[in-house]
A and B are shown apart, each in its own frame.
Chain A
Amino acid sequence: MNDKVFEVLKILSENSKVTPQEISQMTGFPEEEVEEIIRKEEENGVILKYKTLINWEKAGEELVFAVIDVNVTLSREKGYDDIAKRIAKFPEVHAIRLVSGEYDFQVVVKGKNLKEVAFFVAEKISTIPEVRDTVTHFILRTYKEEGVLLFSDEEDRRLAIVP
């Protein structure tokens, strides 16, 4: 992938609302070229989706997130990918990653309340034959998400005019 594509992706990854015209102004690439890069990368599945990062807690929406450590038993027929795909397809599953360490998968589950998440894990995850055991950690507060701080304790103290 060339530098131009990377630069466009980098800018979009910080702010998906930025327009091709603005990207062109920031980079000096012609606007049509920027549009072409975006179109191509959307097509290639490099650009997956344009989403908005929302502080749900601040918005007053009572969502419950939990991180589930999942241990699995592998077999000739079923490897990590097969099990992961099966878990990933549940709409309640927000993210799933294969990780190193004491357990195999880290699954992030989203639900309306504690009960919903707990029952989902009990009924849908734990009952998968390859799943050996699970440990559920409910998320109590998020401080940083996707590289963005969810709190602000610093203000711009610079003087308005500095030579």
Chain B
Amino acid sequence: MRRTGGLQLSPDRINKKVQEIKPSGIRRFFDLIIGRKDILSLGVGEPDFPVPWKVREEIIYSLEKGVTSYTSNHGLEELRQAISEYYRKFGVECFQKDVLITTGVSEGFDIAVRAIINPGDAVLVPDPSYVMYKPLVTLAGGEAISIPTNPDFRLNYERISEYRDLRPKVLILNYPANPTGVSYARRELEEIADAVIENDMLVVSDEIYCELSYNNKHVSIASLNGLGDRTIILNGFSKAFAMTGLRVGYNIAPPDLLDAMLKIHQYCMLCAPISAQIGAIEALKNEEDELEDMRAEYLRRRNYFTKRLNEILEVNIPDGAFYAFPSIQSTGLSSEEFTERLLLEKNVAVVPGNAFGECGEGYIRCAYAVSMEKLKEAADKIEDFVRSL
């Protein structure tokens, strides 16, 4: 029975864990921007390239033929096979049976933490990091513990080992990283792996930006000695193949973990959309060249933008992804003040660093997934703004 009229609704209507979760720090900026067409946005965490035409064309064709059914819970065999072959280039020996198709890394992460976390388990999450990790760990019943990583934003043996006494069960890894652009060379990963093995942890490794790696070829941590049995790899087609809205990704994991995740996936998702899976097969088959062109273009933008930024602010050169994460501490403004004033005074949108954790305070995230012309204009405007302070 529904009661209305002046009644104080109890907050207990909402699940306690959900109550605990803070709304995303960038929601306020949505409200400031909404409906405005004159914004030059470096706030977009997705490629400015549209889905490659071959992929779209393949999806259109499949729709014409009426390919619109469910797939198996695991996903299409052909796609899983193609992924297992593709992932060998990052050093991982895996097979079709090790791959589970998801509706993107967001779902992939959710089912991964739900499959392994017991109430109260400590989960180490680098700070700053992508916005979904901590809330989903909390929802899964875990205790999300931040590892501060500033000012270089890198994880290493010491930083992880400091949390030994908490007996952490899981390490969340994301490289190349959103929002910092940090990635790791093999020898750094080996150090991280040592800490993982010493503390008998599992790794959830979000490698969605693996193709956008500029300095070293991406190495999956699962390829290192002793890590294959401990790692759940999360990846997808959104960034490398610009297929964000199609929602298709995959988890690669050892058999027991994969089975556990499959149980959750089959009840909460059933399967990833078949059209997106068809597109993903085409992407892996025929898009390697376009991918290389895309990577080269992002690299030019990275070089250009960080060079310009470095004339006015301090910024580490990102190893990968399409984010620059400059410090704005020299301006004396907080991340949110800087972001809000830049938006109001120059119509340029960036994301305040504190949206990605406390250690992001004093930084802003600029996505250089925009055309060179726009990037130039944005750099000019940011420069004007900083010099006017």
Taking Cβ atoms with an 8 Å cutoff, the residues of A that contact B are: 10-11, 15, 22, 25-28, 154, 156, 158-163
Residues in A neighbouring B44, C-beta threshold 8 A: 158-162
Q: Can you list 28 pairs linking A and B with CB atoms under 8 Å apart?
A: A10-B296, A11-B300, A15-B372, A25-B308, A26-B301, A28-B303, A28-B307, A156-B48, A158-B48, A159-B30, A160-B30, A160-B39, A160-B41, A160-B43, A160-B349, A161-B26, A161-B29, A161-B30, A161-B33, A161-B41, A161-B43, A161-B44, A161-B351, A162-B43, A162-B45, A163-B178, A163-B351, A163-B356
CA distance A160 to B44 in the complex (A): 6
CA distance A58 to B302 in the complex (A): 35
Question: Do A26 and B24 touch (CB < 8 A)?
Answer: no
Question: Do A22 and B45 touch (CB < 8 A)?
Answer: no
Question: Do A163 and B50 touch (CB < 8 A)?
Answer: no
The minimal Cβ–Cβ distance linking A114 to chain B, given in whole angstroms, is 34
B355 close to chain A: CB less than 8 A: yes
Residues in A neighbouring B24, C-beta threshold 8 A: 163
CA distance A160 to B351 in the complex (A): 10
B157 close to chain A: CB less than 8 A: no
Residues in B neighbouring A156, C-beta threshold 8 A: 48
Question: Do B33 and A25 touch (CB < 8 A)?
Answer: no
Question: Do A25 and B349 touch (CB < 8 A)?
Answer: no
Taking Cβ atoms with an 8 Å cutoff, the residues of B that contact A are: 24, 26, 29-30, 33, 36, 39, 41, 43-46, 48, 50, 130-132, 178, 296, 300-301, 303-304, 307-308, 349, 351, 355-356, 372, 376
Nearest CB in chain A to that of B370: its residue: A156
**A26/B131 contact (C-beta < 8 A), A158-B44, A160-B41, A161-B44 known:** no
**A163/B130 contact (C-beta < 8 A), A25-B303, A154-B50, A158-B48 known:** yes
CA distance A15 to B372 in the complex (A): 10
The minimal Cβ–Cβ distance linking B22 to chain A, given in whole angstroms, is 13
Residues in B neighbouring A22, C-beta threshold 8 A: 304, 376
CA distance A154 to B46 in the complex (A): 17
Which 8 residue pairs across A and B have the least CB separation, nearest first?
A161-B43, A26-B300, A162-B45, A160-B41, A25-B304, A163-B131, A25-B307, A26-B304
Q: Which of A10, A156, A161 has the most CB of B within 10 A?
A: A161
CA distance A27 to B304 in the complex (A): 7
CA distance A163 to B30 in the complex (A): 11
Nearest CB in chain B to that of A162: its residue: B45
- Which of B46, B304, B356 is within 8 Å of A162, CB to CB? B46
CA distance A22 to B303 in the complex (A): 10
Question: Do A163 and B41 touch (CB < 8 A)?
Answer: no
Residues in A neighbouring B376, C-beta threshold 8 A: 22
The minimal Cβ–Cβ distance linking B367 to chain A, given in whole angstroms, is 8
Residues in A neighbouring B178, C-beta threshold 8 A: 163
CA distance A154 to B307 in the complex (A): 32
CA distance A162 to B39 in the complex (A): 14
The minimal Cβ–Cβ distance linking B263 to chain A, given in whole angstroms, is 29
CA distance A27 to B24 in the complex (A): 36
8 other contacts beyond A158-B44, A161-B44, A162-B46, with CB at 8 A cut-off?
A11-B300, A25-B304, A28-B307, A160-B41, A160-B349, A161-B30, A163-B45, A163-B355
- Which of A27, A154, A161 is within 8 Å of B300, CB to CB? A27
CA distance A163 to B301 in the complex (A): 20
The minimal Cβ–Cβ distance linking A6 to chain B, given in whole angstroms, is 10
The minimal Cβ–Cβ distance linking B275 to chain A, given in whole angstroms, is 18
Residues in A neighbouring B308, C-beta threshold 8 A: 25
- Which of A10, A15, A26, A160 is within 8 Å of B303, CB to CB? A26
The minimal Cβ–Cβ distance linking A148 to chain B, given in whole angstroms, is 14
Question: Do A163 and B300 touch (CB < 8 A)?
Answer: no
CA distance A48 to B10 in the complex (A): 75
CA distance A161 to B131 in the complex (A): 13
Question: Do B33 and A160 touch (CB < 8 A)?
Answer: yes
Residues in B neighbouring A15, C-beta threshold 8 A: 372
Residues in A neighbouring B304, C-beta threshold 8 A: 22, 25-26
Residues in B neighbouring A158, C-beta threshold 8 A: 44, 46, 48
Residues in A neighbouring B43, C-beta threshold 8 A: 160-162
CA distance A94 to B190 in the complex (A): 60
Residues in A neighbouring B41, C-beta threshold 8 A: 160-161
Residues in A neighbouring B300, C-beta threshold 8 A: 11, 26-27
Q: Which of B26, B39, B44, B178 has the most CB of A within 10 A?
A: B44
The minimal Cβ–Cβ distance linking A63 to chain B, given in whole angstroms, is 28
Q: Which of A28, A158, A160 has the most CB of B within 10 A?
A: A160
Residues in B neighbouring A162, C-beta threshold 8 A: 43-46
Nearest CB in chain A to that of B339: its residue: A161
